[in-house]
């Protein structure tokens, strides 16, 4: 059971101390805070639980870690609090910036209240007391904790700390909330309040929350990328100074780093102590890592606000997005915490097996036709597809990407009323036992559209006379305008009801630049992001069971903000399986595979023109939310039949994939090993992929992470008769000894150390095999 304790005492210099220690034993994670006097707290421990935490062992962390005064600096050496300012000697990049009448305020915060939620016997929460000596000054109040229950009725335990503080002289109040989730994630959030009314409004410039790093964390890992190649890893040392990844496109975008991870040099998926942060926000944001000569490192992030975007009158508040922290011995453990968290937020997706999808985009593009799509639906149903999604091109004048966007009325020249209407197609799909899905891009509009011609004021624009630079012939609809919001929501709501839509593919193809609302004359990225969340929420409330996919030119909007509402993300517009090997691997640092759209496409791939085997395309889609992005009407019968066999095999295991632990092995650059391990470690699936030729020939033995080291496992190929372009496994020179129906028996410890020899296969080939505990 989780615990949270408060301790009181004094430092050797007489400073009154309050300490808070929180622990999630099942997640093997704990953190500790220390409040010196009435100052904001310092994070003095984040990692494995402390054995027998007591007042003496926790409070002593203050004396153990507090830096001495040094020459040439301020009288107190910087020791960053949870919100460091210059008043506590922080001279790094500003992490808290507010202004009145354009003038910067330098705040010194005094803690006025500490409220701690402590789990009791039934798993719910009671408030703890304020620090010793402050009882007369501060009123204790309960903490509003977002507590819930598991599917089995047991309580969700989230130890929570809420710290209230203020700079009374300058009229600025803050409330910091920190939660330790059952997954082992720590998440923090700050609310800023304007406490005075006889002065200018309070403008919020920057609020960047962070986590203190231990000195051993001297290497950072982020991801970079572009359209069709999202989330490519990059590493560098964490030196003195600041590293940051800024997203300023109104979405995280392709170059965004889902996580910023700092750890011991050389940390990998399997081993290496590391600390990762993520900003759960779908608008402008920053992730940063910083180390100063006088102090320890800090990693964190927050929303990036444009000038004038948030101004607070007296009593008004601004609340930051959640900033998440994940600790682990290797990236697999760090990722598992995010996966656990998302499963707990979307239990319905775990209970309902993920339906196999066919999406029509790469099958027909804009060439919509009732007869073609019903024939494609026949093929889809015959192969085991359970959800048929009609992509872009069904509305307005939308025969290409230059017009019609925003006119959310069914195109009568393509889908006239009658027996071949879009409603008839939806009914046909439902009659085949499949769900019906439809593509929308609700946040965007083509200037060549009836919507724009009628309401040019419904578009975000820097001035009345100038539009932002277009992207894909599009502009951004100002969803902060109630009239525009009502139009978009009303059109979608009506179509979901009229057509019986089960699933929305929600796209977002235009970078949000120069985003000023004509209604207010102010930048509106923050309000626009909240409006997007609202429309997701409103649609789902109006249509229980409706699922929505977040697509943003593929993988341009992947974050825990949108994933609070979305049921799935489209990983990338590139379905080339060679490219997908790493795109999916690094997306899984945040997103569990069962929420990742992984599709079997055509060969050659439309995005790269690379030709690949059907087996590689199917293995690369096998662990995720499987789908098909392929015109089956143009494929030979044997290829369609083979696809059906793989879909049937996927369905046997997908319920487990939804709760399995996703693991990756650390290998050389030529090969990849990815796996899905049952929670009790009784069985696992592994995928071995030979991406390119390697320095070792045949491939070196590979380790299989995630198994019980004391267990004995039978390793067997999934498809014994697999034929990769005529190449029988065993490379034609000699057989691979364990690639038989009986496989080979090995201990989990041996598999995690020296491993086993993989098949010798050509580049751009992949195989699946299982490990079953005996």
CA distance 286 to 290: 13
286 secondary structure, DSSP code: E
d(CA 287, CA 252): 11
Which segments of 324-476 does DSSP mark as H helices, in order?
331-345, 347-351, 361-364, 370-383, 422-431, 450-454
And the tokens for 329? Answer: 């011995």
Strand-pair partners of 395: 410
* Closest by CA position to 367, among listed 376, 358, 380: 376
Alpha helix positions (H), 234-330: none
CA-CA distance, 229 to 666, in Å (whole number)?
21
Judge contact between 218 and 275, C-beta under 8 A: no
Q: Are strands 229-237 and 298-303 parallel, antiparallel or unpaired?
A: unpaired
**Number of CB atoms found within 10 A of residue 708's CB:** 16
- B/e letters for 631-668, b = 16+ CB within 10 Å, e = fewer, are bbeebeeeebebbbebbebbbebbebbbebbbbbbbbe
Alpha-carbon gap, residue 347 to 181, rounded angstroms: 16
Which of 391, 573, 576, 582 is labelled catalytic? 573
Handedness of CA 372, 377, 380, 386 (dihedral sign): positive
CB count in 10 Å sphere of residue 369 = 14
Q: Using CA atoms, how far apart are residues 653 and 353, in angstroms rounded to an integer?
A: 10
Is 507 catalytic? The answer is: yes
The answer to whether 276 and 284 are in contact (CB under 8 A) is no
Residue 302 to residues 167, 229, 245, 248, 279, Cα–Cα distance (Å)? 22, 25, 11, 12, 6
Q: What is the DSSP letter of 146?
A: -
Q: Which residue, among 81, 90, 84, 47, has the nearest Cα to 276 in the 3D structure?
A: 47
Q: Give me the catalytic one of 181, 478, 507, 674.
A: 507
Query: Rounded to whole angstroms, how far apart are CA atoms 629 and 634?
Result: 13
CA 540 vs CA 364, 389, 534, 543: distances in Å: 29, 18, 10, 5
In angstroms, the Cα distances linking 328 to 268, 323, 741 are 11, 17, 37
Q: Which two tokens stand for residue 50?
A: 């402390």
- Helix ranges, 625-715 (H): 637-657
Give the count of beta carbons closer than 10 Å to the beta carbon of residue 291.
21
Separation of CA 572 from chain center: 14
Other Cβ atoms within 10 Å of 715 Cβ, number:
19
Pairwise CA distance, residues 105 & 174, whole Å: 14
| Residues labelled as active-site residues | 507, 573
């Amino acid at each position: 059971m989780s615990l949270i304790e408060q301790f009181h005492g004094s430092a050797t210099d007489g400073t009154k101390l309050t300490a808070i220690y929180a622990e999630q034993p099942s997640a093997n994670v704990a953190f500790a805070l220390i409040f010196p006097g009435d100052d904001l707290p310092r994070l003095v421990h984040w990692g494995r639980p402390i054995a027998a935490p007591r007042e003496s062992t926790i409070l002593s962390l203050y004396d153990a870690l507090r830096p001495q005064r040094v020459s040439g600096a301020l009288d107190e050496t910087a020791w960053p609090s949870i919100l460091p300012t210059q008043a506590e000697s922080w001279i790094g990049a500003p992490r808290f910036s507010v202004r009145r009448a354009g003038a910067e305020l330098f705040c010194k915060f005094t803690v006025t209240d500490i409220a701690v939620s402590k789990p009791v016997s039934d798993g719910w929460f009671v408030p703890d007391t304020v620090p010793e000596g402050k009882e007369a000054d501060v009123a204790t109040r309960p903490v509003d904790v977002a507590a819930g229950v598991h599917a089995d009725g047991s309580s969700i335990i989230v130890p929570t700390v809420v710290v209230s503080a203020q700079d009374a002289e300058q009229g600025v109040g803050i409330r910091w909330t920190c939660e330790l989730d059952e997954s082992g994630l720590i998440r923090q959030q700050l609310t800023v309040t304007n406490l005075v009314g006889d002065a200018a409004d309070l403008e919020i410039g920057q609020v960047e929350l962070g986590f203190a790093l231990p000195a051993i964390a001297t290497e950072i890992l982020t991801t970079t990328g572009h359209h069709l190649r999202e989330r490519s890893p990059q590493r560098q040392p964490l030196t003195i100074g600041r590293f940051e990844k800024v997203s300023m496109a109104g979405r995280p975008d392709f170059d965004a780093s889902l996580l910023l991870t700092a750890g011991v040099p050389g940390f990998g998926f399997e081993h290496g102590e590391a600390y990762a942060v993520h900003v759960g926000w779908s608008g402008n944001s920053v992730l940063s890592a910083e180390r100063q000569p006088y102090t320890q490192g800090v990693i964190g992030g927050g929303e990036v606000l444009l000038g004038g975007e948030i101004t607070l009158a007296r009593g008004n508040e601004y609340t930051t997005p959640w900033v998440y922290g994940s600790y682990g011995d290797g990236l697999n453990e760090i990722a598992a915490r995010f996966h656990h968290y998302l499963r707990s937020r979307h239990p319905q997706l775990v209970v309902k097996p993920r339906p196999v999808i066919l999406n029509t985009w790469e099958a027909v593009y804009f060439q919509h036709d009732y007869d073609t799509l019903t024939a494609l639906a026949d093929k889809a149903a015959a192969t085991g597809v359970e959800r048929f999604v009609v992509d872009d091109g069904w509305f307005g004048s939308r025969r290409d990407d230059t017009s019609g966007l925003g006119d959310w009325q069914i195109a009568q020249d393509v889908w006239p009323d009658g027996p071949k209407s879009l409603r008839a197609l939806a009914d046909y799909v439902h009659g085949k036992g499949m769900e019906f899905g439809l593509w929308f891009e609700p946040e965007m509009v083509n200037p060549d559209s009836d919507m724009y011609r009628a309401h040019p004021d419904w578009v975000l624009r820097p001035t009345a006379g100038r539009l932002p630079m277009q992207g894909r012939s599009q502009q951004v609809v100002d969803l902060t305008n109630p009239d525009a919001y009502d139009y978009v929501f009303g059109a979608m709501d009506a179509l979901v009801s009229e057509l019986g839509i089960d699933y929305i593919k929600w796209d977002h193809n235009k970078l949000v630049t120069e985003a000023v609302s004509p209604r207010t004359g102010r930048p509106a990225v923050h309000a626009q992001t909240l409006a997007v969340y609202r429309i997701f929420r409103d649609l789902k409330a109006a249509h229980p069971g409706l699922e929505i996919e977040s697509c943003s030119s593929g993988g341009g909007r992947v974050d825990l903000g949108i994933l609070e509402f979305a049921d799935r993300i489209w990983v990338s517009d590139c379905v080339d399986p060679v490219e997908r090997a790493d795109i999916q691997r690094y997306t899984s640092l945040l997103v569990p595979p069962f929420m990742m759209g992984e599709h079997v496409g055509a060969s050659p791939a439309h995005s790269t023109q690379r030709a690949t085997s059907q087996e590689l395309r199917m293995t690369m889609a096998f662990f995720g939310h499987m789908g098909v992005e392929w015109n089956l009407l143009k494929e030979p019968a044997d290829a369609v039949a083979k696809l059906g066999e793989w879909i049937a095999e996927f369905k046997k295991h997908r319920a487990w994939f939804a709760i399995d632990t996703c693991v990756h092995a650390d290998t050389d650059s030529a090969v990849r090993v990815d796996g899905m391990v049952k929670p009790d470690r009784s069985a696992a699936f592994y995928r071995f992929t030979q991406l390119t030729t390697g320095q070792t020939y045949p491939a070196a033995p590979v380790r299989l992470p995630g198994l019980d080291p004391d267990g004995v496992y039978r390793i067997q190929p999934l498809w014994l008769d697999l034929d990769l372009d005529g190449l029988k496994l065993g490379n034609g020179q000699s057989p691979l000894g364990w690639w038989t129906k009986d496989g080979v028996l090995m201990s989990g410890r041996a598999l995690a150390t020296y491993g086993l020899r993989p098949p010798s296969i050509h580049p751009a080939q992949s195989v699946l095999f299982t490990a079953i505990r005996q």
